[in-house]
């Protein structure tokens, strides 16, 4: 520990620095992330109110308002985090989490405005802003006091809402409104431009408090039917049957969201339908500080039931003794003029209230079987608690007292009144799926999503509902409740804000030591070994086991597979996420660093570089993240998981760039980009592939490394073949080959020649393409083959065979193409590498098309297409689809061809593969023509021809021209002239490029047409 003033080393117990005498304090106070509601309030124009007053008078003018604000905040469980001279900032939902933080903050704001207005000073007017969001909360200790501080962007939005509010108005953000809706009434004010925010934000104004009970608010939001609870309903049914012999009291006990209220109300309504009288009330978190608030609600329910009673028994207070009538009136806030009541001691008054309450419950029960339903005992006010205990202990036949409570708020008198406690459990899987089928619909298309939700929520009903609501609100699920469709993939289900506080409140009930273990477990994952937790936590065994036992009892972290091994898992993923998200960044970094060090020391994840990379990144150990990310990328490449490989290489590159700048680091950065190219190429990230080459070349220039500069240019020139114009690609490729020949690295020279050959092919210089690729092919097929980093010689040889085969097919040299195809197929069979097999399938299919065997071509290309999709080899998907469409077209399967070619064109556009877009467009036009839409076909071919001509794809220009000649009907002189012109240009281009089969087809078509002069007849 160090002094905050002079940075001298000090002992943890020292109160003063021994060097400079400064008071010591923690430089890093304990802090955590919290989801809370922030209240900001101030007095309007306070400066004008006190500008001309003496300091004492100024304080006297403003202090009553500040006192009223403090009182309102504290009444509803808030913490005043900061006083601002003429206002304050308060937080609800911290330091102890409360799932009702937003409604409480709204009620506090209403009370705050009311109290200030009640001061009788018309000059004191306040404005309030409320926002719910994530903050970093921590306790700051000074010599004499502690202050609870909050930080983060959320408090700024609350402040902006406060500044925007009008006099005696409360402005609320949308996040807060969604959480408090139903408990409070709002008016939408539209979007408002707030200082510091780039876009207008939706703003609401509080109109007033709602008279809806919490149950009615929850019921109004419910989107599912009541399911299962067979065992619990049976227990309640037996209790109801036993009321003939005496009072029965049942407590439904369970955590928030488990379904206590739903079960209680469903059962109570069944009893009511069977002739029972229902008296129901609930304890409110808003009124915990108001004496007898719960009892008042209960008495009002009794009076309402009596008024609706058809036997006309009337007001049950009428036949009570005078003192008891006064007692009931006192609870109901009715005026009392009896001196006997005012003369009673407080204890006697309390006894009278209890006796009177029990007496009217008894009087109601004498005439009808009665169920008294009282919800949420964990929020009961202290004054009502003793009276409810007395009611629950009545020895009265025909009375069923049904209570609900959370475990942390269960009253101490439950055992004394001999209540039967029914512990509520999550739903079983079948019931959870039934609930989801009711909300999402019975479609099997959502089966995987339903199973994910079950696992994510552990079948807690509220959590299931809110996750589904969140998916629908975000647009991930579309449709109506009961018939929803998943319209986009889901990476994480997340945690709806409506239940973050519910889970956080559970976490706040565990000890500091248990919380620390939970945090380590959350960083390790959903399931973990006790042995690993023991190594990282480094706690005495007795402390560790006691903490794990406590966490198991609370069902936050439970033991599993006792016979197979000592393992732990989170009861559901949401608990793990809330635990993890609650940690501030420095705590997370420390835990991940400890996990990483443990894994590296004992070799637990020696063959799992992806796991090591995950922890290294979150520990912000960038050097290790670079190493493990590179290893993970290589491992993914070896498994042909190209998208994963690209992701890990990106992590490795980003991590390396966060380390100190040195020439060695830059050399590593260049080499990493060269190695990563294969992952980006295969996964179809053409733009990123091009960027890799450009960035590597820039860095090589900066450190004056000619070898790495040539390598980078080679990578960039290869990307140009797909992303740029072929003329530019040829120019760059020729320069790269020249530099590679000077440098003398045969591996990079082979890749440069392959890339240049590909560029020649795309520009229509097929003879140059064949000669250039042949030189690389010769070296790679020789006794000492060489390939650059990130590529094996045989892998590059397969590509050379493929590329060289293409050129021979285009030039009509099918026997040479056959020999190359056989070599490619043999290598692919030997390596069994998906990328090699796909490349061999592509050239094999093209060869069969050249041999006029479209059925055989389709069979080969279909296998390659499936394999490319399965392994994410996206670069090959559009070209395979294109040639597969061509095979269908030549078999006369025109509809099938059009569908496949349209898919090929869209995929090529998505990848950025320009030549594939043109080729698929040409053959899509031919399929369209065969299906009868000649005009659309002509338009597509004309567009493809113009694009090919402008960008320099002369070979594809010739194919487009021949296509135009094929689809254009010779129905007019103008059309005949166009056909003649297209065929002649096709022949000229094909002759120059060496595309013999295309030239022969064009000549044959021309020769079949009678010509006079320069015109078709």
Least confident of 140-144, 435-439, 473-477, 815-819: 140-144
d(CA 302, CA 685): 71
d(CA 494, CA 581): 11
134 Cα distance to chain centroid: 16
Percent of the chain with pLDDT over 90: 46
Q: Which two tokens stand for residue 576?
A: 């793990």
pLDDT of residue 325: 87
d(CA 238, CA 267): 12
Predicted confidence band of residue 937 (pLDDT cuts 50, 70, 90): very high
Average pLDDT of the residues of the chain? 87
Give the mean pLDDT of 168-182.
Answer: 92
d(CA 364, CA 278): 10
Instruction: Give the pLDDT confidence of 286-331 residue by residue, as tens digits.
Output: 788 788 989 999 999 888 888 777 665 667 777 788 888 898 889 8
- DSSP per-residue letters across 478-517: EEETTEEEE-S--S-----HHHHHHHHHHHTTS-HHHHHH
Instruction: Give the pLDDT confidence of 624-675 residue by residue, as tens digits.
Output: 999 999 999 999 988 888 889 999 999 999 999 999 999 999 999 999 999 9
- Examine the pLDDT at 19 and tell me if it is beyond 70: no
617 Cα distance to chain centroid: 19
Predicted confidence band of residue 1015 (pLDDT cuts 50, 70, 90): very low
Q: Which two tokens stand for residue 368?
A: 């009808």
Omega prior to 151 cis, within 30 of 0 = no
Predicted confidence band of residue 884 (pLDDT cuts 50, 70, 90): very high
Q: Which two tokens stand for residue 796?
A: 């590059």
pLDDT of residue 719: 85
Predicted confidence band of residue 16 (pLDDT cuts 50, 70, 90): very low
Give the mean pLDDT of 956-969.
Answer: 92
Instruction: Lay out the sheet containing 567-570: strands in order across.
Output: 527-529, 567-570, 557-560
- Hey, which residues does 215 pair with through a beta bridge? none
* Distances 71 to 88, 115, 521 between C-alpha atoms, Å: 12, 9, 40
- Examine the pLDDT at 916 and tell me if it is beyond 70: yes
d(CA 952, CA 101): 65
Percent of the chain with pLDDT over 70: 93
d(CA 587, CA 29): 11
pLDDT of residue 211: 73
Give the mean pLDDT of 697-702.
Answer: 93
Kindly tell me the number of DSSP H helices and DSSP E strands found in the chain: 42, 20
**CB–CB of 93/503 below 8 Å?**
no
Please calculate the CA angle 876-882-886 and round it to the nearest 5 degrees.
140
pLDDT of residue 21: 44
d(CA 682, CA 689): 10
Predicted confidence band of residue 50 (pLDDT cuts 50, 70, 90): low
* Distances 532 to 517, 544, 593, 964, 967 between C-alpha atoms, Å: 12, 12, 14, 69, 70
pLDDT of residue 56: 65
Which of the residue ranges 174-183, 219-228, 465-474 has the most confident prediction, judged by mean pLDDT? 174-183
Least confident of 107-111, 308-312, 379-383, 987-991: 308-312
SS3 content of the chain, % helix, strand, coil (to 5): 60, 10, 25
Q: Higher-confidence residue: 32 or 814?
A: 814
Predicted confidence band of residue 563 (pLDDT cuts 50, 70, 90): low
Query: Closest Cα partner for 1017 from 963, 965, 980?
Result: 980
Q: Which two tokens stand for residue 696?
A: 């590597």
* Distances 368 to 236, 279, 303, 364 between C-alpha atoms, Å: 18, 12, 15, 7
Whole-prediction pTM value?
0.78
Predicted confidence band of residue 697 (pLDDT cuts 50, 70, 90): very high
d(CA 308, CA 764): 93
Give the mean pLDDT of 471-484.
Answer: 87
Instruction: Give the pLDDT confidence of 587-627 residue by residue, as tens digits.
Output: 999 999 999 999 998 887 888 999 999 999 999 999 999 99
Q: Which helix (H) or strand (E) holds 429?
A: helix 429-440
- Examine the pLDDT at 920 and tell me if it is beyond 90: yes
Give the mean pLDDT of 925-934.
Answer: 92
**Terminal-to-terminal C-alpha distance of the chain:** 99
Give the mean pLDDT of 73-78.
Answer: 90
- Examine the pLDDT at 353 and tell me if it is beyond 50: yes
Place of tokens 């450190």: 703
Instruction: Give the pLDDT confidence of 766-780 residue by residue, as tens digits.
Output: 999 999 999 999 999
Give the mean pLDDT of 44-54.
Answer: 67
3-state secondary structure 145-169: CEEEEEECHHHHHHHHHHHHCCCCC
SS3 308: coil
**CB–CB of 639/834 below 8 Å?**
no
pLDDT of residue 63: 84
User: Which residue blocks in 30-83 are alpha helix, DSSP H?
Assistant: 46-50, 55-75
Q: Which two tokens stand for residue 943?
A: 């567009």
d(CA 85, CA 706): 66
d(CA 226, CA 820): 68
- Examine the pLDDT at 27 and tell me if it is beyond 50: no
Instruction: Give the pLDDT confidence of 979-1000 residue by residue, as tens digits.
Output: 999 999 999 999 999 999 999 9
- DSSP per-residue letters across 674-721: HHHHHHHHHTT-HHHHHHHHHHHHHHHHHTT-HHHHHHHHHHHHHHHH
- Examine the pLDDT at 847 and tell me if it is beyond 90: yes
Instruction: Give the pLDDT confidence of 649-661 residue by residue, as tens digits.
Output: 999 999 999 999 9
**CB–CB of 870/682 below 8 Å?**
no
């Amino acid at each position: 520990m160090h002094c905050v003033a002079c940075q001298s080393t000090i002992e943890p117990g020292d109160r003063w620095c021994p060097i400079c005498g400064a008071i010591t304090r923690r430089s890093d106070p304990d802090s955590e992330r919290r989801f809370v509601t922030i209240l900001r309030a101030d007095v309007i124009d306070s400066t004008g109110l006190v500008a001309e007053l003496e300091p004492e008078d100024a304080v006297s003018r403003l202090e009553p308002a500040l006192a009223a604000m403090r009182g309102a905040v504290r009444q509803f469980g808030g913490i005043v985090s900061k006083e601002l001279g003429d206002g304050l900032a308060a937080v609800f939902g911290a330091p102890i989490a409360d799932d009702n933080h937003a409604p409480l903050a709204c009620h506090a704001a209403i009370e705050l405005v009311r109290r200030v207005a009640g001061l009788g000073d018309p000059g004191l007017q306040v404005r309030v802003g409320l926002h719910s969001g994530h903050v970093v909360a921590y306790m700051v200790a000074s010599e004499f006091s502690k202050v609870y501080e909050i930080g983060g962007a959320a408090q700024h939005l609350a402040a902006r809402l406060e500044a925007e509010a009008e006099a005696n108005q409360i402005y609320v953000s949308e996040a807060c409104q969604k959480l408090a809706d139903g408990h409070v009434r709002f008016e939408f004010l539209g979007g408002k431009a707030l200082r510091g925010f780039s876009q207008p934000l939706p703003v609401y104004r509080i109109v007033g408090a709602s008279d809806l009970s919490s149950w009615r608010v929850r019921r109004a939001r419910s989107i599912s039917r009541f399911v299962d609870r067979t065992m619990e309903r049976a227990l309640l049914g037996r209790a109801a049957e036993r009321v003939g012999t005496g009072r029965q009291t049942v407590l439904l006990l369970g955590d928030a969201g488990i379904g206590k209220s739903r079960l209680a109300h469903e059962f109570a309504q069944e009893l009511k339908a069977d002739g029972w009288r229902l008296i129901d009330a609930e304890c409110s978190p808003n009124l915990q500080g108001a004496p007898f608030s719960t009892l008042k609600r209960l008495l009002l329910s009794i009076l309402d039931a009596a008024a609706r009673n058809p036997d006309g028994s009337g007001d049950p207070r009428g036949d009570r003794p005078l003192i008891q009538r006064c007692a009931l009136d006192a609870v109901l806030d009715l005026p009392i003029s009896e001196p006997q009541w005012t003369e009673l001691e407080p204890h006697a008054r309390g006894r009278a209230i209890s006796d009177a309450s029990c007496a009217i419950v008894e009087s109601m029960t004498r005439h009808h079987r009665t169920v008294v339903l009282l919800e949420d005992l964990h929020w009961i006010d202290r004054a009502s608690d003793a009276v409810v205990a007395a009611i629950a202990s009545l020895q009265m036949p025909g009375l069923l007292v049904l209570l609900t409570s959370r475990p942390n708020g269960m009253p101490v008198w439950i055992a004394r009144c001999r209540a039967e406690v029914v512990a509520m459990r999550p739903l079983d899987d079948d019931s959870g799926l039934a609930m989801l089928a009711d909300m999402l619909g019975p479609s099997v298309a959502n089966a995987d999503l339903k199973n994910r939700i079950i696992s994510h929520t552990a079948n807690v009903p509220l959590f299931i509902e809110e996750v589904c609501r969140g998916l629908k609100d975000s647009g991930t699920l579309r449709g109506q409740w009961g018939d929803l469709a998943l319209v986009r993939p889901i990476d994480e289900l997340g945690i709806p804000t409506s239940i973050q506080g519910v889970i956080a409140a559970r976490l706040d009930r565990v000890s500091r030591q248990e919380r620390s273990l939970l945090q380590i477990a959350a960083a390790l994952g959903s399931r973990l070994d006790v042995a690993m937790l023991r190594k990282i936590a480094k706690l005495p065994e007795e402390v560790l086991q006691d903490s794990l036992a406590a966490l198991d009892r609370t069902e936050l972290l439970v033991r599993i597979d006792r016979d197979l091994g000592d393992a732990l898992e989170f009861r559901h993923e949401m608990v793990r996420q809330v635990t993890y998200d609650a940690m501030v960044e420095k705590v997370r970094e420390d835990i991940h660093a400890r996990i990483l060090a443990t894994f590296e020391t004992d070799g637990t994840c020696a063959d799992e570089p992806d796991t090591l990379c995950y922890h290294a990144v979150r520990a912000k150990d960038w050097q290790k993240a670079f190493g493990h990310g590179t290893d993970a990328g290589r491992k993914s490449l070896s498994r042909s998981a190209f998208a994963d490989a690209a992701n890990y290489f990106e992590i490795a590159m980003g991590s390396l760039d966060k380390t100190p700048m040195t020439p060695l680091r830059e050399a590593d950065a260049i080499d990493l980009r060269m190695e990563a190219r294969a992952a980006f190429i295969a996964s179809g990230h053409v733009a990123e592939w091009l960027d890799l080459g450009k960035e590597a070349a820039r860095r090589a220039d900066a450190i004056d490394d000619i070898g790495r500069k040539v390598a980078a240019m080679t990578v960039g020139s290869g990307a140009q073949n797909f992303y740029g114009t072929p003329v530019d690609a040829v120019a760059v490729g020729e320069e790269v080959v020249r530099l590679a020949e000077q440098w003398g690295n045969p591996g990079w020279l082979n890749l440069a020649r392959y890339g240049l050959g590909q560029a020649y092919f795309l520009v229509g210089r097929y003879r140059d393409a064949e000669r250039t690729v042949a030189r690389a092919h010769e070296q790679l097929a020789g006794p000492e083959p060489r390939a650059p980093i990130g590529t094996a010689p045989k892998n590059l040889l397969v590509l050379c065979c493929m590329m060289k085969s293409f050129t021979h097919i285009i030039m009509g040299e099918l026997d040479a193409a056959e020999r190359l195809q056989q070599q490619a197929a043999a290598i692919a069979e030997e390596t069994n590498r998906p990328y090699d097999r796909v490349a061999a399938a592509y050239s094999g299919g093209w060869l069969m098309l050249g041999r006029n065997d479209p059925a055989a071509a389709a069979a080969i290309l279909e296998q390659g297409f499936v394999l490319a999709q399965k392994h994410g080899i996206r670069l090959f998907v559009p070209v395979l689809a294109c040639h597969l469409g061509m095979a269908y077209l030549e078999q006369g399967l025109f509809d099938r061809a059009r569908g496949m070619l349209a898919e090929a064109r869209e995929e090529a556009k998505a990848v950025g593969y320009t030549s594939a877009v043109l080729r698929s467009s040409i053959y899509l036009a031919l399929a369209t023509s065969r299906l009868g839409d000649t005009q659309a076909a002509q338009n597509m071919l004309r567009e493809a021809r113009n694009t090919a001509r402008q960008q320099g794809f002369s070979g594809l220009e010739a194919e487009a021209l021949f296509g135009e000649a094929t689809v254009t009907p010779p129905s007019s002189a103008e059309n005949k002239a166009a056909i003649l012109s297209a065929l002649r240009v096709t022949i000229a281009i094909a002759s120059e490029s060496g595309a013999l089969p295309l030239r022969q087809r064009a000549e044959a078509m021309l020769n079949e047409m009678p010509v006079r002069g320069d015109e078709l007849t």
